[in-house]
């Protein structure tokens, strides 16, 4: 049975710390992987549908003709019949809360304000024209991913939303019916069965069948993430970086070991390249969590247990800290995708946590955030929470600045404008003020 890798932070070996901090980034930026992905990307760029179908045959063992790439209307109807009422209800609940969250996100996206007498400035928010959404399929069924990235795109008002999803492994051309139910609930009909890097390239460049988009979004394997990085060189933007799942929990001796262990295993079961970290200042709690993790691991299916065991030993583990300040400092250096605070005063800890994709307080489990609460669950990984955020309606919106000046306000600024124009050697800039009788 797998064991948690246990460390004491003050004497932690530099190699262990470096491995945990780096987690799966080395795989994403691996030279051999990127060379392989580049071949696929370039093949799709040059040969379109033919290359997409070639990738399906090579990597999924699925023979597909170009006219079969688009999911048909009858497949949507069959999907609804194949998905249980309970799952449909869960999908609708999640979409409703995600919609409400993102409507609030956009409420003040456009704004105007007079910042000085006669000087009005602001921003006008508008959706991007087309978005590509990648939904993974290799390690399971992920309708929640399309809920999390599709709903914000719909709320933002993106005119064209293209969904690419690999076929279900071992079931021919079949696309996950639960994903199709989500697409139907969101009114998304441009759904295509395409795998991995070829799917990213297909929406980035467009093919004879698959429309081109301006931005591609979605979590996936290191190869999928590498493809998203590469297509930016051709003008298709993405958000950095939605790689393998990772979580970090900060707990003190007030936490329930059984609950904490369950939440700890939540993100760990995603994959062999996932990471799960527990930081605590309680040696007693750590010991109790170790026992609970071992017990709960035994209840997982073999393949999920294998994933979880890797996540708690290879890139993760339990780390004993001297106090919560030390835990927060480590967490800020790590910049986790998911952070959970299980302490007596979680708000006090959260206010000092500067870098995290999401922060869940108290008795708020990762599972609820993934499926139902409405907050983003497609979040930056690999430390990119330092510089980017989870997928919301803002991901699919850009802004134009807007300004209006009165003649009086312009007159007050004119001397400075003219002085800077002349200093920088732009006489026409200065002339634009003087022709108005200013400066």
CA quadruple 173, 178, 184, 187: dihedral positive or negative? negative
* Catalytic (active-site) positions: 337-338
Length of the chain as a residue count: 439
DSSP, residue by residue, 92-119: HHHHHHHHHHHHHHHTTSSEEEEEETTE
Q: Which domains does the chain have, with CATH numbers?
A: 6-24+244-364 (3.40.50.1980), 31-234 (3.40.50.1980), 406-434 (no CATH)
C-beta of residue 192 within 8 angstroms of C-beta of residue 69: yes
- Name every residue whose Cβ is closer than 8 Å to that of residue 177 and which is 6 or more positions away in sequence: 78, 79, 80, 82, 83
Q: What is the pTM of this model?
A: 0.93
pLDDT band at 2 (very low <50, low <70, confident <90, very high): low
> Is the N-terminal amide bond of 76 cis, ω within 30° of 0?
no
Backbone torsions φ then ψ of 49, nearest 5 degrees:
-55, -40
pLDDT of 28: 87
Give the three-class secondary structure for 289: helix
Report whether pLDDT(243) > 90: no
DSSP, residue by residue, 2-46: ----EEEGGG--HHHHHHHHHTTHHHHT-HHHHHHHHHHHHHHHH
C-beta of residue 85 within 8 angstroms of C-beta of residue 101: no
354-413 pLDDT, tens digit per residue, is 999 999 999 999 999 999 999 999 999 999 999 999 999 999 999 999 999 999 999 999
pLDDT of 1: 45
Beta strands 160-165; 191-193: pairing state: parallel
135-179 pLDDT, tens digit per residue, is 998 767 899 999 999 999 999 999 999 999 999 988 999 999 999
Sheet holding 397-405, edge to edge: 111-116, 119-127, 397-405
pLDDT of 104: 97
Long-range CB contacts for residues 349-355, cutoff 8 Å, separation at least 24: 349/250, 349/324, 352/325, 352/328, 353/328, 355/331, 355/383, 355/385, 355/386
Report whether pLDDT(71) > 60: yes
């Amino acid at each position: 049975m797998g064991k948690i890798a246990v460390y004491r932070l003050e004497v932690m070996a530099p190699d262990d710390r470096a491995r945990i901090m780096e987690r799966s980034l080395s795989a994403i930026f691996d030279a051999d992987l990127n060379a392989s992905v580049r071949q696929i990307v370039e093949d799709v760029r040059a040969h379109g549908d033919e290359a997409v179908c070639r990738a399906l045959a090579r990597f999924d063992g699925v023979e597909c003709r170009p006219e079969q790439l688009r999911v048909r209307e009858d497949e949507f109807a069959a999907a609804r019949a194949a998905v249980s009422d309970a799952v449909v209800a869960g999908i609708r609940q999640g979409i409703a809360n995600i919609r409400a969250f993102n409507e609030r996100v956009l409420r003040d996206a456009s704004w105007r304000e007079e910042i000085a007498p006669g000087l009005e400035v602001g921003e006008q928010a508008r959706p991007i024209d087309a978005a590509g959404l990648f939904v993974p399929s290799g390690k399971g069924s992920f309708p929640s991913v399309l809920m999390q990235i599709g709903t914000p795109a719909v709320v933002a008002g993106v005119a064209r939303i293209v969904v690419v999803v690999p076929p279900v492994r071992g079931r021919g051309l079949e696309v996950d019916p639960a994903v199709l139910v989500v697409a139907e609930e969101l009114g998304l009909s441009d759904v295509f069965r395409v795998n991995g890097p070829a799917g990213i390239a297909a929406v980035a460049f467009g093919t004879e069948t698959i429309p081109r988009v301006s931005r591609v979004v979605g979590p996936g394997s290191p190869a999928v993430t590498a493809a998203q990085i590469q297509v930016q060189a051709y003008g298709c933007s993405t958000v950095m970086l939605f790689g393998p799942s990772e979580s970090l929990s900060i707990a003190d001796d007030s936490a329930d070991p059984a609950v904490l262990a369950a939440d700890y295993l939540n993100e760990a079961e995603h994959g062999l390249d996932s990471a799960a970290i527990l930081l605590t200042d309680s040696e007693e709690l750590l010991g109790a969590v170790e026992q609970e993790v071992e017990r709960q691991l035994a209840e997982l299916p073999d393949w999920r247990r294998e994933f979880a065991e890797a996540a708690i030993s290879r890139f993760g583990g339990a780390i004993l800290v001297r106090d919560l300040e030390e835990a927060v400092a480590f967490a800020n250096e790590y910049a986790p995708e998911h952070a959970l605070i299980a302490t007596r005063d979680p708000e006090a800890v959260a206010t000092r946590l500067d870098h995290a994709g999401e922060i869940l307080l108290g008795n708020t489990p990762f599972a609820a955030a993934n499926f139902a609460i409405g907050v983003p669950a497609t979040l930056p990984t690999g430390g990119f929470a330092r510089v980017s955020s989870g997928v919301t309606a803002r991901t699919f919106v850009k802004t134009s600045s807007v300004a209006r000046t009165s003649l009086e306000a312009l007159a007050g600024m004119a001397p400075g404008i003219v002085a800077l124009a002349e200093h920088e050697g732009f006489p026409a800039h200065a002339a634009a003020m003087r022709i108005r009788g200013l400066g």
